[in-house]
Amino acid sequence: MKMTECAVKLFVLMMVIVVSAPNAAATDEDVVVFAAASTTNAITDIGELYAGKGLGRIKTSFASSSTLAKQIASGAPADVYLSANQKWMEFLEAKKAVDKASRFDLLGNRIVLIASANSPVEKVEVNRQLDLAGLLGSDGRLSMGDPDHVPAGIYGKQAMQKLGLWKQVQGRLAPMKDVRAALMLVARAEAPLGQVYATDAAISNKVRVVGIFPKKSHPPIVYPVASVTGGKADAAAEFLNFLKSADAKAVFAEYGFDVH
pLDDT digits (tens, 9 = 90+) for 27-68: 567 999 999 999 999 999 999 999 999 999 999 999 999 999
Q: What angle do CA 49, 55, 61 make, to 5 degrees?
A: 65
pLDDT digits (tens, 9 = 90+) for 84-122: 999 999 999 999 999 999 999 999 999 999 999 999 999
Q: Is the pLDDT of residue 143 over 60?
A: yes
Give the Cα separation of 21 and 198 in Å (integer): 45
Domain membership of residue 153 (yes or no) is yes
Domain membership of residue 4 (yes or no) is no
Task: Give Cβ neighbours of residue 62 (< 8 Å, ≥ 6 apart).
Answer: 35, 36, 37, 39, 40, 43, 180
Beta bridge partners, 125, equal none
pLDDT at 29: 76
Domain membership of residue 19 (yes or no) is no
Q: Is the pLDDT of residue 3 over 90?
A: no
High-pLDDT (> 70) share of the chain, %: 89
Domain membership of residue 213 (yes or no) is yes
- Mean pLDDT, all residues of the chain: 90
What's the pTM?
0.81
CATH number at residue 46: 3.40.190.10
Do residue 72 and residue 47 come from a single domain? Answer: yes
Domain membership of residue 7 (yes or no) is no
Residue-range definition of the domain harbouring residue 185: 111-217
